Amino acid sequence: MRAVLLRRPGSADSLRVETVPDPIARDGELLIDVRAAGVNFADVLARQGLYPEAPSMPYIPGFESAGTVLAVGPGVEDFRVGERVLAYHASGGYAERVVAPAERVIRIPDDMPFQTAVVLPLNYGTAYVSLYRTGPVEPGMRVFIHAAAGGVGLAAVDLARRAGLEMTGAAGTHFKRARLIHAGVKHVVSSRYLHVDRVAKRQYGGPAFDIVLDSVGGRFIREGLRALRPGGRVVSLGVGGLSGRGLLGAIQYVLTAPRIRFLDLLQQSVGLHGVNLRQLMEDPVLVRGVLETLLNWTVAGEIRPQAGRVMPLEEIAIAHKMLEGRTNVGKIVLRVGG
């Protein structure tokens, strides 16, 4: 089969499609003919050697895929060959075929495009957990979304719209900010020279956000805490600021990150949450619950997931460069088989 094999840390140009042996479905697994695969920022960090939870190299990257069941491994009784499915897995998505534990696979409707379904696991999954499993979500609450025009950002915008939240979104270009306005974001700000606490003061007169979704890290965590009103929370769901720094730069970034004191949180009556979907998705019950909820909302028309750009597997290097350079709007999806 054709696949992208990550052999060692390197630049995006080191990613190439190779021919590798087909995987085999073992106990409790499904073999899936991949039609669409998601590209995520974690893949970029893994390629740069900055993602500690990545499998040992060489391996095939890719956490999520959608396609049809090719084979059913021993012990699997709930799936049949030919069924259309969506899967979340530890690796293997950048390939024509992938094996995934059956407990992390869910059926998708016949009329749902594969490239739509594959947007759900990581992007919408991260946004869903960050919003709904860290505290209350009630209509009228104010949320600030960093990198709001990215894959997770637009998923958070869609979910926040469904929940009736008042949104402020940050993006780096006029085109991205126009996309946010089109998506219904009430307040759109530039991410250049951004200070979240100053945004809160300018818009509302002082600390006023109920939720700050932070995918950048560094100083933005402390500024986000200062922008909260009592009872609010900052949700750290990524460290986009690490990208492109190299190993030494990443170490420096971590060492110079703000130190948060418990007494400061207590005094302000605010919270700080960390969301690592990779860790949470080790729980198969949680995986299925999140995917079923998002799938049901999609079918009902309550949310509108869509790929920002669909690219052939052979353009994986371009896809990584877009993510690395923050030039993508929305989710990048690879078109694989079919």
Output the pLDDT for position 54: 85
Instruction: Tell me how many degrees the CA angle 54-217-178 measures, rounded to the nearest 5.
Output: 105
Between the two ends of the chain, the Cα-to-Cα distance in Å is 13
pLDDT at 45: 87
Classify the phi-psi angles of 147: left when phi > 0, otherwise alpha if psi is within -120 to 50, otherwise beta: left
What pLDDT score was predicted for residue 53? Answer: 83
Which string of b and e fits 139-148 if b means at least 16 CB within 10 Å?
A: eebbbbbbbb
β-sheet bridge partners, residue 29: 101
pTM of the model: 0.93
Query: What is the pLDDT at residue 273?
Result: 94
Element (H, E) at 174: helix 174-182
Please report the pLDDT score of residue 43 as a whole number.
92
- Domains annotated for the chain, with CATH where assigned, are 2-119+306-335 (3.90.180.10), 123-277 (3.40.50.720)
Beta bridge partners of 36: 66, 335
Supply the pLDDT for residue 52.
81
Q: What local confidence, expressed as pLDDT, does residue 248 receive?
A: 61
**Relative orientation angle of helices 284-299 and 125-132, to the nearest 10 degrees:** 100
Paired with 272 in beta bridges are: 234
105-107 and 64-72 beta bridge pairing: unpaired
Q: Tens digit of pLDDT per residue, the chain (338 long)?
A: 999 999 999 999 999 999 999 999 999 999 999 999 999 988 998 898 888 888 889 999 999 999 999 999 999 999 999 999 999 998 999 999 999 999 999 999 999 999 999 999 999 999 999 999 999 999 999 999 999 999 999 999 999 999 999 999 999 999 999 999 999 999 999 998 899 999 999 999 999 999 999 998 888 899 999 999 999 999 999 876 555 555 665 566 666 667 778 888 888 899 999 998 888 888 989 989 999 999 999 999 999 999 999 999 999 999 999 998 889 999 999 999 86
